[in-house]
Amino acid sequence: MVCGGFTCSKNALCSLNVVYMLVGLLLIGVAAWGKGFGLVSSIHIIGGVIAVGVFLLLIAIVGLIGAIHHHQVMLFFYMVILFIVFLFQFGVSCSCLAMNRGQQVALLNSTWGIMLNDTKTDLESQLNCCGLLNTTDSRQTFEADVENCRAPCKKEDRCQSCGDKMLNHATEALKILGGVGLFFSFSEILGVWLAVRYRNQKDPRANPSAFL
């Protein structure tokens, strides 16, 4: 059977969903590992990563079952959900690649403002820094964060602000995140294309007079 036929489309779609399942399991495993080793104690971060992993795993299972059984309804919902995920991920990836330094500072400030104290403490300990940015507008918050900081550098009284540390590597990190996100977004549009193509193909082993 030449590639592009029913069997090839089925195998390609199954393989793609197996990869999605592995990525979902990897996300769940990494979150559990980080929690188990005490790298991150915030239940919101752990829960968020696990939720993404479970969602990806469920979508991959739906796509895999739909591909194996050539199930029209499951394949339809699979490709619709995957297309919505593609649009969201493509937009976020492009935003990461196009973000300038001023937007990075604004994003850091807004993200830091909604973090729990436990999450801030974890981050400060991992990066060995205290507080976010020591600016005029946020000096009171910065001093409170430094007071609660438990980073090793505080004992030596020469801590750098976490904001300065993150901004030094933010552009490179955003390029990596944007590039990886863009790559996976195109893998998702490939999955949508394969699902559409596969749904419209007739199983050569099925009854020729059966309704597709």
Residue with more model confidence, 44 or 84: 84
Amino acid identity of residue 47, one-letter, is G
For the ranges 40-49, 100-109, 150-159, 173-182, which has the lowest average pLDDT?
40-49
pLDDT score at 34: 64
pLDDT score at 2: 44
Q: What angle in degrees, to the nearest 10, is found between the helix axes of 43-69 and 6-36?
A: 160
pLDDT score at 17: 92
pLDDT score at 81: 92
- What is the average pLDDT across 121-139? 78
39 and 61 Cβ atoms separated by less than 8 Å? no
135 and 145 Cβ atoms separated by less than 8 Å? no
For the ranges 20-29, 153-162, 188-197, which has the lowest average pLDDT?
153-162
pLDDT score at 35: 63
Residue with more model confidence, 177 or 46: 177
pLDDT score at 77: 92
Integer Cα distance of 65 and 92 in angstroms: 29
pLDDT score at 154: 75
191 and 201 Cβ atoms separated by less than 8 Å? no
Integer Cα distance of 48 and 42 in angstroms: 10
56-106: per-residue pLDDT in tens? 899 999 999 988 988 888 999 999 999 998 888 888 888 888 888 888 888
